[in-house]
Amino acid sequence: MSIKHAAIVGAGVAGLTAALSLARKGISSDIIEQAPQLAEVGAGLQLSPNATRVLDQLGVLPDLERHWFEPRSIGLVSGTDLRPLAEVPAGEFARKRWEHPYGVLHRSTLQQSLLRAVLSQPLCRLHLGLRVQGIGADALSQITSQKPDLVVGADGVWSVARDAVAGSPTVSFSGNIAWRFTISQASAPSFLSRTGVTAYLGARAHLVSYPLKEIDGFNLVAIAAGTKSDESWSIDADAARRAMLLEQFSGWHRDIRTILAGADMPTFWPLYEASAGNWHNGRDTVLIGDAAHAMMPFSAQGAAMAIEDAFSLAAHVARTPLPSALASFTAERKARAARVKARGEFNRFAYHARGPFRIGRDIVLSLRPPEKLAADLDWLYGHRIGD
């Protein structure tokens, strides 16, 4: 074992998963979080088999399965006429093909499951309500009373841990805005699938919908391109932003526009992405999750990449001297993140296609059977991290 103790900055999905992954290797950690309590923002998220495989190894999956919903399929549908375009089977098919399930759940469900596991793990100590002033091991030891061998920056898009890594990624507005909201089962129109994840596609915009078992309703995320924002984080959507939303979805099916117009308390999320850059300082500090590679949600892999990062980092530092471990970890994960980001860019182009490109997309999708579409995802959903 190359290290005995780590300090983790941030207690989101990346940070909590890192603590559990390190504990599994016999490495203790202090998790430092500036929030006084863990209340995950947002609504729903999707966990594909590459993520649930890790959560299973960490012992968290059974708890999640009691609360989540497993979609039977992931469908693509025209946003203008509600015509089905393509479908990837999930449910039992996912369990058999990729050996782990595909689930959708409320973000707080995942956060609370990870938190319970951390609190029950003697090698993990959680410190809430503490703002980090300096990222170095000496500075963090003033908070935890133990000097860490490794500092893990798991503090998200607006990471302060990046300051400790020369040449680290920078973040910039992507030109995409997400509006997030939920609706009740009782008020949901009949065309929303009760059994699957659906992405409705249109020119320069798309809408994702799926059931959330925890709220007996639906999670909806509307993403539009070509918008501007002076905001750096989520806020409640005011009248002007609601008008912007409806403008972006003009020309869509009237039933979808009715849902958007009637959204109760939607939040307005400018989407940011990270540039290329260094993920570690060559000695004792490393970035994971959105702190390292914030990307657009067009492949629904944000949480999954953070979970993979955390598990992979623990495997590397447990078997290799730290400087070499950080180098091999980043080489492995940069290649993986780049491929996932490229897939997301492909999806963005396909989802938001206009004119002849849209027509060509629809023809190509109509010619590909569900099993072939699933095979195209083997590299993503079937990914295994060496242990």
> Which residues, in sequence order, are bridge partners of residue 196?
73
Q: What's the rounded mean pLDDT across residues 344-360?
A: 87
Q: Hey, where are the domains in the chain?
A: 5-71+101-170+275-352
Residue 298 or residue 40, greater confidence: 298
| C-beta neighbour count of 74 within 10 angstroms | 27
Q: Give 326's contacts (C-beta < 8 A, 6+ positions apart).
A: 280, 282, 286, 316, 317
The β-bridge partners of 177 are 224, 270
Mean pLDDT, residues 148-172 taken together: 95
Residue 133: other Cβ atoms inside 10 A: 10
Find all residues with CB under 8 Å of 376, minimum gap 6, and list them: none
Q: What is the CATH number of domain 5-71+101-170+275-352?
A: 3.50.50.60
Instruction: Specify burial of residue 264 (Cβ count, 10 A radius: 0-12, 13-18, 19+).
Output: exposed
Spatial separation of the C-alpha atoms in residues 68 and 66, rounded to whole Å: 6
pLDDT at 256 > cutoff 90: yes
Predicted pLDDT at 209: 97
pTM score of the predicted model: 0.94
User: Is residue 234's pLDDT more than 80?
Assistant: no
- Token couple for 299: 């492949």
Parallel, antiparallel, or unpaired for β 28-33 and 124-128? parallel
Provide the 3-class DSSP secondary structure of residue 152: strand
Q: Which two tokens stand for residue 382?
A: 């079937």
> What does pLDDT average to over the chain?
91
The SS3 call for residue 105 is strand
Asked whether 14 and 279 are in contact (CB, 8 A), the reply is: no
